């Protein structure tokens, strides 16, 4: 009887220990996939923490093969590591962000690109669906719903992407991700453009949904000006905050663009698509001038946008005095949008002015749990870096720093 009691007690202890391991160990792990057009003898995922430089190598297992290549998988801990690259045959891929919003990456014939496990090759259909364009910038791309609205007296096109299984009448609604420079953050197939010149943001949102279950649509906003070039990207993505820090040709229409997105684009999308209408499920993201404008839009309309992706922002266009004057008029409280900042170094990117802005908002009372900053010493002002880090913005959008 005593022996039976001891056995039962031991069983209870083992069960509790296993449960504890599940809560604190295995549940922290995230499955990552790597697909390659060729079959490799061995693929190793190298996880790294970009701050501490702690790293670990994990041999990946072969889990499938189809006409598009071989798929490998392993588990990593996103609470310990935030970067990954893949090593095989003496070759190392580019380092990319690692988090719960990443399904995987694909070494395809088009290059090293985001990948969603279980999906057909997402890039062949995009290459076949190239954009037809003429001098009036009229598009015909079957991958997206193209919506033309009027902005500042000329046409402004929204390219709206919905998942393959999008349900317009489901009870569970979709979040919305607004992209500035949308004409390049998704691949539209312009002459001379390649998949490597795009962040492939819609594919990364698809990957996020597969990995987390968090559903979203993408609204890519063209921001290259009008067909006659009376207005340019430099005009559309620079808000009017007063005198510029240095001489630059811009009509500073970013304030108008912010109002257009808030008053015209967002209401249109919320009326015609099955999306949430609260700020928590609505985000805006941009890079370079688009990062500047995304920052501005979120601060101007915190009632609409709960997250902003501010990547390599062009904060140098205004002086410290101008920024402080603008920011002093804003109310920084717990309802402030979550700001995700990313930048490379000060030589190849806008690292110095981004450092200054992050320090500035912190000093001026922006809630420290409402922003995150990823600074990469080797990062440049290039699409490859923005594509590699984009999932970290999505992770900030989904988890808001949690």
CATH number of 129-399: 3.40.50.1820
Angle among Cα 83, 207, 337 to the nearest 5 degrees reads 75
- How far, in whole angstroms, is CA 124 from its chain's centroid? 22
- Residues carrying CATH 2.60.40.1110, the chain: 29-123
CA distance 34 to 39: 11
CB of 161 closer than 8 Å to CB of 218:
yes
CA distance 402 to 88: 34
- Residues carrying CATH 3.40.50.1820, the chain: 129-399
**pLDDT given at position 27:** 66
Alpha-helix runs per DSSP H in 67-133: 122-128
**pLDDT given at position 191:** 78
Element (H, E) at 200: none
pLDDT tens, per residue, the chain with 402 residues: 444 444 444 444 434 433 333 333 456 899 999 999 999 999 999 999 999 999 999 999 999 999 899 999 999 999 999 999 999 999 999 999 999 999 999 999 999 999 999 887 668 777 765 555 444 444 456 789 999 999 999 999 999 999 999 999 999 999 999 999 999 999 988 877 899 999 999 999 999 999 999 999 999 999 999 999 999 999 999 999 999 999 999 999 999 999 999 999 999 999 999 999 999 999 999 999 999 999 999 999 999 999 999 999 999 999 999 999 999 999 899 889 999 999 999 999 999 999 999 999 999 999 999 999 999 988 899 999 999 999 999 999 999 867
pTM of the model: 0.91
Beta-sheet pairing, 216-221 with 83-88? unpaired
Longest dimension (CA), the chain: 91
CA distance 373 to 355: 9
**pLDDT given at position 334:** 83
CATH number of 29-123: 2.60.40.1110
CA distance 147 to 342: 30
**pLDDT given at position 19:** 39
**pLDDT given at position 125:** 73
């Amino acid at each position: 009887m005593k022996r039976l009691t001891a056995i039962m007690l031991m069983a209870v202890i083992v069960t509790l220990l296993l449960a504890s391991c599940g809560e604190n160990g295995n549940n922290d792990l995230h499955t990552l996939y790597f697909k390659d057009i060729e079959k490799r003898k061995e693929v190793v995922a190298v996880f790294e923490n970009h701050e501490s430089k702690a790293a670990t190598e994990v041999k990946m297992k072969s889990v499938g093969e189809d006409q598009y290549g071989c798929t490998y998988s392993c588990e990593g801990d996103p609470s310990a590591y935030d970067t990954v690259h893949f090593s095989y045959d003496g070759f190392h891929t580019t380092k990319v962000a690692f988090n719960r919003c990443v399904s995987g990456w694909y070494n395809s014939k088009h290059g090293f690109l985001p990948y969603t496990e279980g999906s057909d090759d997402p890039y062949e259909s995009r290459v076949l669906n190239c954009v037809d364009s003429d001098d009036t910038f009229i598009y015909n791309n079957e991958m997206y719903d193209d919506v033309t609205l009027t902005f500042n007296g000329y046409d402004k096109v929204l390219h709206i992407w919905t998942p393959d299984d999008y349900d317009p009448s489901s009870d569970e609604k979709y979040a919305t991700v607004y992209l500035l420079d949308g004409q390049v953050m998704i691949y539209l197939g312009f002459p001379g453009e390649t998949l490597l010149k795009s962040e492939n943001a819609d594919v990364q949102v698809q990957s996020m949904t597969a990995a987390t279950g968090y559903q979203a649509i993408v609204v890519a906003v063209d921001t290259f000006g009008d067909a006659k070039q009376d207005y340019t990207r430099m005009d559309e993505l620079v808000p009017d905050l007063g005198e510029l820090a240095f001489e630059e040709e811009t009509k500073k229409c970013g304030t108008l663009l912010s109002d257009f997105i808030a008053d015209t684009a967002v209401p249109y999308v919320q009326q015609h698509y099955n999306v949430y209408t609260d700020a928590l499920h609505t985000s805006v993201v941009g890079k370079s001038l688009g990062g500047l404008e995304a920052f501005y839009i979120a601060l101007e309309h915190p009632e609409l946008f709960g997250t902003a992706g501010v990547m390599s922002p062009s904060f140098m266009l205004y002086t410290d005095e101008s920024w402080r004057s603008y920011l002093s008029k804003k109310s920084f409280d717990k309802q402030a949008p979550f700001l995700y900042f990313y930048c490379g170094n000060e030589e190849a990117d806008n690292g110095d002015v981004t450092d200054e802005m992050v320090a500035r908002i912190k000093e001026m009372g922006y809630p420290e749990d409402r922003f995150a900053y990823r600074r990469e010493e080797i990062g440049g002002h290039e699409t490859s870096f923005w594509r590699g880090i984009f999932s970290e913005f999505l992770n900030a959008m989904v988890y808001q720093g949690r």
